[in-house]
Amino acid sequence: MTKSARHKRRTPIQGAFYLKHRADCPVVTQADGLTLRYLLPQNSVEKSTTTIGLQEVELQPGRQTDGHSATGEQIVWQILQGAGLMNLGETQFAVVPGDIILISADQPYRLTNKSEVALRLNQITTPIPNPS
């Protein structure tokens, strides 16, 4: 779809408003080689403590993420392409397309791409409300 076609489609679609096209979303590459495309919210600066986030994540073959921790939020991963090893806390297991993984708040995790293609996944983040 061309950019002009995407622009024309930015009108209400069956009661829902068209937000943006994937190609229009900013991409950030982290030091460990992990690439994130911010779909909702639009970028990490807009990250809110009250909304969900959706990112497309890509890790190139043979690469491994630095150790991460889901500070103040829960994360759900849906593996779309590639295969790898996931370290979730003290547990290690293989991940393949179709897998859905819940990463609880403050749980350490690491991902290694063991396939010949980029490991791609959708990442959904939800903030953990502060008890008041």
**Taking residues 42-51, what's their average pLDDT?**
56
Point out which residues pair with 63 in neighbouring strands.
Answer: none
**Taking residues 34-44, what's their average pLDDT?**
78
Task: Look at residue 51 and tell me whether its pLDDT is greater than 80.
Answer: no
Query: Model-level pTM?
Result: 0.78
Task: Tell whether omega for the bond before 41 is within 30 degrees of 0, i.e. cis.
Answer: yes
pLDDT (tens digit per residue) in 53-89 = 899 999 999 999 988 787 788 999 999 999 999 999 9
Contact yes or no for 125/73 (Cβ under 8 A): yes
Kind and range of the H or E element at 69?
strand 68-69
pLDDT (tens digit per residue) in 84-130 = 999 999 999 999 999 999 999 889 999 999 999 999 999 998 887 76
Task: Look at residue 46 and tell me whether its pLDDT is greater than 60.
Answer: no
Contact yes or no for 111/83 (Cβ under 8 A): no
User: Residue 61 contacts by C-beta under 8 Å, 6 or more apart in sequence?
Assistant: 82, 113, 115, 116, 117, 118, 119
Task: Look at residue 18 and tell me whether its pLDDT is greater than 80.
Answer: no
